[in-house]
Amino acid sequence: MILSLFVFILKGIFMKLPFAILGLSFIPQRWIQAIAKKDKSFFIEQAMRWLLSAILLFFMFDIILLDHTAAAIFSSFALIFGLMLIIDSSIYIYTVREVMTYRSNRRKNEGNKLPKTPWNVHFNSLIGGILIMAWAIMLFYPLTVAGDLHGLAKVDKKDELEEVQDIKTMPLVTVKMADAKGDAAINKIENASYFTEGDYRLTNINGDLTYTSPIEMDGFFKAGKAEYTPGFNLVSAVSTDKGASTIKGKMLYAPSQYLEHDLERTVRRAYPDKIIYDSYLEPDEAGKPFFVASVGHHLKYRSGSVVDGVVLVDPETGGTKYYPLGKEPKWVDRTYTLETALEYWTYWGKYVHGWKNQSLIGAKKDVLIPNEEHMQITFNEKGELIYVVDFTRAKSKGNSKTLVGYGVFNAKTGEMTYYKGVTSVLTGKEAKSNANASEYLSKYPGWKATNGIFYTIYGAPTYVIPVTKGSKFQGVAIVYANSDNPQVVFGKTKDEAFRNYKKLIASLGKVSGVTPQKGFEMKEIKGKVTRINDANLANGYIYYLIVEGQGKRFSVDPGVNALSDIVLTKEGDRVVLKVLDMDEDIVPVDQFTNLDLPKK
């Protein structure tokens, strides 16, 4: 591996030598004098400049992986080249003066005038000064194109966030939980000490909402021993009880690989003029993994990310294929990165009336601020990956505690929707604080609310927040987010939490202006049990049963009353169930009674 690294560096520097001649002196008089006088120091200086220029080019293009565009080259090298031209001219002028001074002193004729500096030396300095001035001006260029950057975001405005109809699409597994599960899975593979988990990214794999993570090399020297990584991990984003599964495969190209097998270097080699925004791992419909890299260009100079499409990289062969935006395979979940989405929302919210309006001296008229810390990744009910973000108003002091709107960004299509009717609603940060301060969490040391997702549920503004202790799931907190009367409920399972939340909304309907959907009345169901089974979850057993004459299935979790009754229930027993019908296939039971058991 050390030899490969040495060859990679030498080859890279050698390939840059033809371009590195731009680092040599552009003043012919210096070359003429040095040749005439056989000035070894001058030639040593030029050799060092040539070598250092080649090393700099190697570092920028082969290590930093700078895109091969005029704007990138100017922004990276104009300052250096400009300074070099000015210094080169200064060296010549200083050398000539020193020589003339020395000669004058020897002849004791200090009145001799210095020779006129050649025009090309002044021209050299002039070009250097122009380059430096242009480089400095371009630092402020984005301020002049704020209107163009604002126009990048094509936003559809709506009043109300759509009502959630299916809670099954809500991810409850956090990245930290997924990482812990993946770590346990890696411990089971051969030579586990060579590897670590990569970044976990949400994907929709044939309808299953899943975190994917490439197994990565754990350091340079271990990469030399392992040669390739043994596959990737999958973790359910919905089920808190399932562990990670490792899909084995030979992956020679990955983000953690080195030298020629580095993923970004592979994409840069194939598409030198593209901006590489981010990449993630996702298997296709047949289960074959690909790295998906979002690529594009800048709208103006080095500002304004414009996504052109994606590059798919085969991790086994390193083969690449570019798909223009909208032509990518159906299974690709994201063409726009989270960072690009935040960039677009920032341009749209801040530059609504140009740069000056949002600056320190501006009035900040109509300025909206996306909450970067609480920008979340989730799925809509169609199973499409979306980025969601809170918006607050611009304040000179402190942070706003309520929303002025809510943004939804489709990660595949780039469609942006702003919901302006979301008012008098807590921000994600405030909802999280309310959950942590609630009686349900505060009494358990170490229990913490994570960042929640905002929804409209049962007609009410709602945050659904997984609760963890370290990396272990403890339950779900649901925050009724009306800023005038925030409320928190908790359940050890999703079903229990939503059952408790529905009761809360039913009780708040008259006083909070919430109009509950149908099914908020408690219903009593009687009949014989035709089938019953249990499942062992992290927070205890949950029982599923079918009642004769009913088209739905029912669930009884550890939070229900008379838990011992359900444990002793068998097929054929007569039961009474009380439920709040949620119009779902599996209905949580609030109260359970077995009529065939002896009375207590």
Region 100-105 average pLDDT? 63
In the predicted structure, residue 16 carries a pLDDT above the cut 70: yes
CB 307 within 8 A of CB 260: no
Pick the range with the lowest mean pLDDT from 149-153, 195-199, 501-505.
501-505
pLDDT tens, residue by residue, 108-147: 555 556 678 899 999 999 999 999 999 999 999 988 999 9
Maximum distance among all Cα pairs of the chain, rounded to whole angstroms? 127
- Max mean pLDDT among 1-5, 98-102, 290-294 falls in 290-294
In DSSP terms, 196 is beta-bridged to: 216
Sign of CA dihedral 450, 451, 456, 461: positive
CB-based contacts of 525, cutoff 8 Å, min separation 6: 547, 550, 554, 576, 577, 578, 579
Banded pLDDT at 538 (limits 50, 70, 90) = low
CB 574 within 8 A of CB 592: no
Question: In the prediction, which pLDDT does 367 show?
Answer: 87
Of the chain, the percentage scoring pLDDT greater than 90 comes to 63
Sign of CA dihedral 260, 261, 267, 268: negative
Region 389-402 average pLDDT? 77
Distance CA 354, CA 123 (A): 39
Reading the block at residue 390, the tokens are: 């809170």
Which of 350, 344, 358 has the alpha carbon at shortest distance from 396?
358
Question: In the prediction, which pLDDT does 245 show?
Answer: 92
- For residue 223, give the 3-state DSSP assignment: helix
Distance CA 413, CA 294 (A): 12
- For residue 234, give the 3-state DSSP assignment: strand
Question: In the prediction, which pLDDT does 511 show?
Answer: 46
CB atoms within 10 A of CB 432: 21
CB 43 within 8 A of CB 34: yes
Could you tell me how many residues make up the chain? 600
Banded pLDDT at 261 (limits 50, 70, 90) = very high
In the predicted structure, residue 360 carries a pLDDT above the cut 80: no
Distance CA 39, CA 26 (A): 17
Distance CA 161, CA 45 (A): 67
- For residue 10, give the 3-state DSSP assignment: helix
Which of 4, 401, 378 has the alpha carbon at shortest distance from 202?
378
In the predicted structure, residue 266 carries a pLDDT above the cut 70: yes
In the predicted structure, residue 567 carries a pLDDT above the cut 90: no
Question: In the prediction, which pLDDT does 113 show?
Answer: 64
Distance CA 80, CA 240 (A): 54
In the predicted structure, residue 501 carries a pLDDT above the cut 60: yes
pTM score of the predicted model: 0.84
Which of 471, 469, 402, 444 has the alpha carbon at shortest distance from 182?
471
The three-point CA angle 120-124-130 to 5° equals: 135
What dihedral do alpha carbons 56, 58, 63, 67 form, nearest 10°?
90
Output the average pLDDT for the chain: 89
Pick the range with the lowest mean pLDDT from 357-366, 384-393, 406-415, 459-468.
357-366
Which of 493, 460, 499 has the alpha carbon at shortest distance from 579?
499
The three-point CA angle 495-161-480 to 5° equals: 45
In DSSP terms, 579 is beta-bridged to: 523
- For residue 536, give the 3-state DSSP assignment: strand
**Strand duo 376-379 + 385-393: pairing:** antiparallel
CB 465 within 8 A of CB 454: no
Region 336-346 average pLDDT? 96
